[in-house]
């Protein structure tokens, strides 16, 4: 941000303090009265210059929408909260019911992920996906409604039992493969429902 003049600093401080006390930004009249400016045009000129320097922002056409922009704002990363719907076996498939366990906050830029209302997370239980570096206790972030491609990691219901596995095709027919030789391939006897395709992995700190 460009440096503010002393008067501009005073105006920014007044806006911040006024909003803290009253819950809304000051009007141009409030600013003019505080600094004994002779006209609202003078206030508008000050605000325009301060806005150009990046210290305040406002919504076009909306009264009292001035807000002070923190000098740290460019350093802040965009964070999103993703719901965690229980855990999922990364071993043998299990008949189980998912339960909400809260949410996880993610740094969108670091993960390279843009969550949608269909994004959710599950906690991994088991070791069947270690070949893809998915470990017990990790959180897998999944997107519901995506069409999986061969090789994608998916949360799936196979014959009404849930599991986390790699989605593969054999002569056009889907099946699930563990990334650990201790576990067999899973071929659906009746039904295979993809609950979500993995889009990110979060490793919990020990």
HSE-up of residue 178 (Cα within 13 Å, Cβ side): 18
Q: Which of 29, 105, 128, 150 is catalytic?
A: 128
Architecture of the domain made up of 6-73: Orthogonal Bundle (1.10)
Residue 33: the pLDDT is: 94
Active-site residue 128, yes or no? yes
Distance CA 18, CA 50 (A): 17
Tokens of 22: 């009253």
Q: Annotate 51-77 with DSSP letters as a single string.
A: HHTTSEE--TT-TT--EEPPTTGGGPP
Topology classification of domain 79-202: Umud Fragment, subunit A (2.10.109)
pLDDT value at residue 97:
45
> What percentage of the chain has pLDDT greater than the value 70?
84
Q: What are the phi and psi torsion angles at 151 (to 5°)?
A: 105, -15
User: Within the chain, where are the H helices?
Assistant: 6-22, 28-35, 40-52, 108-111
Q: Full-prediction pTM beyond 0.85?
A: no
Q: Which pLDDT belongs to residue 203?
A: 85
Assign 92 a pLDDT band (cuts: 50, 70, 90): low
Three-class DSSP category at 40: helix
Q: What is the mean pLDDT of residues 137-162?
A: 92
Residue showing tokens 């699930």: 176
pLDDT class of 93 with cuts at 50, 70, 90: low
Domain range annotation of the chain = 6-73, 79-202
pLDDT (tens digit per residue) in 157-180: 888 888 999 999 988 899 999 999
Check if 114 is active-site. no
User: By mean pLDDT, which of 81-90, 142-151, 168-177 is the weakest?
Assistant: 81-90
Question: Residues 148, 152, 156, 161: what is their CA dihedral angle, to the nearest 10 degrees?
Answer: 140
How confident is residue 21, by pLDDT bands cut at 50, 70 and 90?
A: confident
At 142, phi and psi to the nearest 5? -125, 155
Catalytic position from the list 55, 132, 162, 165: 165
pLDDT attached to residue 113: 79
- The alpha carbon dihedral of 189, 191, 196, 202 has a sign of negative
pLDDT for res 77: 58
């Amino acid at each position: 941000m460009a440096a503010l003049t002393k008067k501009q600093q005073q105006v920014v401080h007044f806006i911040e303090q006024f909003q803290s006390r009253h819950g809304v930004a000051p009007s141009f009249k409030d600013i003019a009265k505080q600094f004994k400016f002779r006209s609202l045009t003078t206030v508008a000129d000050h605000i325009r210059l301060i806005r150009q320097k990046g210290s305040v922002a406002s919504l076009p056409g909306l009264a009292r929408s001035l807000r002070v922009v923190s000098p740290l704002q460019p350093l802040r990363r965009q964070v999103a909260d993703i719901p965690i719907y229980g855990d999922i076996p990364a071993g043998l498939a299990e008949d189980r019911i998912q339960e909400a366990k809260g949410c996880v906050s993610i740094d969108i830029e670091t993960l390279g992920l843009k969550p949608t209302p269909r994004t959710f997370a599950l906690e991994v239980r088991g070791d069947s996906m270690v070949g893809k570096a998915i470990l017990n206790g990790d959180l897998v972030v999944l997107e519901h409604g995506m069409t999986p491609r061969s090789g994608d990691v998916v949360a799936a219901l196979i014959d009404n039992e849930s599991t986390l596995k790699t989605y593969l095709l054999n002569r056009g027919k889907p099946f699930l493969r563990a990334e650990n030789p201790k576990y067999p391939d899973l071929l659906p006897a009746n039904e295979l429902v993809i609950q979500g395709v993995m889009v990110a992995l979060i490793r919990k700190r020990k």
